[in-house]
Structure 1
Amino acid sequence: MNGSDLSALSLFARVAEQQSFSAAAQPLGISNSVASYTIRRLEDQLGTKLFNRTTRSVSLTEAGSEFLKRIQPLMEQLDLAFNEVGRASSGTMGTLRLNVLRASIALVIAPVLKEFLNVWPARECAGRMDSARCAIPLLLQSNRLAAQAEGLHRLRT
Structure 2
Amino acid sequence: MSLDDFFFRINKAIEKLKIIKLRNFMNKYFISVAISITMATSYTISMANPFGDAAKALNQASDSVDHAAEKAKAAAMKAQEQKKIADEKAKVKEIKAPVVHAPKVTVPDMKVPKIKAPEVKAPVIKTPKVKSMKVKIPGQ
Asked whether the two chains share a fold, i.e. TM above 0.5, the reply is no
Higher normalized contact order (CA 8 Å, seq sep 6+, divided by chain length): 2
TM (norm. structure 2) is 0.29
Structure with the larger helix share: 1
Structure with the larger strand share: 1
